[in-house]
Amino acid sequence: MTDIAAIGHNLSETLKKYSADYIEAHLEESQASHITYRGRELESVDQTTAIGGNVRALVKGGWGFVSFNNLDDLSNRVELAVKQARLVGHEQSSLAQVAPIVDVLPIETHRNPITIPLTEKKKQLDEYLDIIWYTPQIQTSTINYGDSQKKSVYLNSSGSYIEQARTDTALHLVVVATKGGEVQQAGFSLGSRGDFSLIQGLHQQVAETAQRAVALLSAPQVKGGEYTVVLDPILAGVFVHEAFGHLSESDFIYENERLLQIMTLGKEFGSAELNIIDTATIPELRGSYKYDDEGVPASKTYLIREGKLVGRLHSRETAAKMNEKPTGNARAINYRHPPIVRMTNTYIEPRSASFTDIIGDIEEGVYAKNWYGGTTSMEMFTFSAGEAYMIRHGKLAEMVRPVVLTGNVFTTLKNIDAIGNDLEMNQGGGCGKGAQSPLPVSNGSPHIRIRHCLVGGR
């Protein structure tokens, strides 16, 4: 493999030769493998390597960006990025100040899924496929597995030099069942920081997923209307990520006058029990790291504290434009893209209520779990739960068809009147934004109870 660290040290000297307000560079080498099944068939299996980098220059408020997959002649790449920046820059450059950092982080060689043979990975997934198709009434299924290891070097004209590495593993499985024109599906996703053992031993979970898809064919449908709804940690985590987290990304906010008025710091969005946090500092989560892709240390950012909006997520540029502190949330999916403001691990902080407490005084309500789709538009959202149950007289009752939840995120936050003590972090998803997807993130929550939630049904 190419020694990107040696190249990075040489490039540090090159950056000093060019006149710009700011220059940064990323060098990256990665390995990845993917296995995909459609129905009974193995659709694709591959193992890839990639090497490349980018240079980003800032001149008079204008950015130049050059990416490349050949690490020769890097001085010309820097020169081109500076020329691009000069073409578009016509105002004052604005970046929040961050002290230069020099750090080399050790590589976790003991947990690299790339070292596991593809045949072993395929054998494990073949076992899951056999379980799925042993179940009657299954029409089709999809299994997507992927893993990667990425080593990166970051440097800038201020003197920062950082070497980091990360591994990642993810599995997504969906089963579709049919009967008499009815179609239902069930699935699950999970991921880790490269621990392949979490992908193993899922036979019982796969069997239960296939059986649930079949059982949903005969499950009744909820009568549409307004209910008290309890969300499990997975669906509540998706809600806080998709419906609220993206609104906290400051590149959405500072150029949008309407959103600026809505997302006013100090504004009350929920009860004093409600805290929402984004942080990359929690070990072992897929959204975690020590430094973001601008060399800014990761931090713990309260977005909502005791019901009030107290923070938002920043790059160095958005922090300067809004006169706030950078939060270490500038991320790029790989060297082909510039960093943009992204979430990391976003969650609702747990409180004291047990699940029994949360459902205990609900005469008729809905318990919604998991998810398999949804859309957001500014403060409006629509999410489809993966499974659902009626709550009757304070107890879980019959399983029903998956429900669709619709509403205004700010109204919904205010209607949260119970927060559980059982925080769980979902690591199975990937976030998409600005043509950069899927970025490893985590989201989570304890069980939460929402009054006056609109549920779609028959």
Which residues are paired to 305 by β-bridges? 308
The confidence score (pLDDT) of residue 329 equals 98
Tally the residues of the chain: 458
Neighbouring residues of 126: CB distance < 8 A, sequence distance ≥ 6: none
Degrees to nearest 5, angle at CA 22 with 16 and 26: 80
Distance CA 13, CA 186 (A): 54
Q: Around 256, how many Cα atoms within 13 Å sit in the side-chain half-sphere?
A: 14
Distance CA 322, CA 61 (A): 15
**In the numeric block, which tokens belong to residue 154?**
């970051």
The confidence score (pLDDT) of residue 256 equals 87
User: Structural domains in the chain?
Assistant: 4-218 (3.30.2290.10), 225-456 (no CATH)
Q: Are 64 and 125 in contact (CB under 8 A)?
A: no
Neighbouring residues of 250: CB distance < 8 A, sequence distance ≥ 6: 312, 313, 314, 315, 318, 319, 322, 324, 341
Neighbouring residues of 177: CB distance < 8 A, sequence distance ≥ 6: 135, 137, 138, 139, 183, 184, 185, 186, 210, 213, 214, 216, 217
The confidence score (pLDDT) of residue 374 equals 78
The confidence score (pLDDT) of residue 456 equals 86
| Nearest to 89, CA basis, from 60, 55, 56 | 60
The confidence score (pLDDT) of residue 109 equals 65
For residue 435, the SS3 value is coil
The confidence score (pLDDT) of residue 39 equals 96
**In the numeric block, which tokens belong to residue 329?**
């949330």
pTM over 0.75: yes
The confidence score (pLDDT) of residue 180 equals 87
Residue indicated by tokens 């019901």: 307
Distance CA 364, CA 330 (A): 44
Distance CA 447, CA 422 (A): 7
The amino acid occupying position 37 is Y
Q: What share of the chain is helix, strand, coil (3-state, %, to 5)?
A: 25, 45, 35
The amino acid occupying position 211 is Q
Distance CA 317, CA 242 (A): 23
Q: Mean pLDDT by 10-residue block, N- to C-terminus, for the chain (458 residues)?
A: 86 92 97 97 96 97 97 95 96 95 86 91 97 94 96 97 96 95 93 93 97 95 95 96 94 87 94 98 95 98 98 97 96 97 98 97 96 84 93 97 94 97 92 92 97 87
Distance CA 328, CA 338 (A): 15
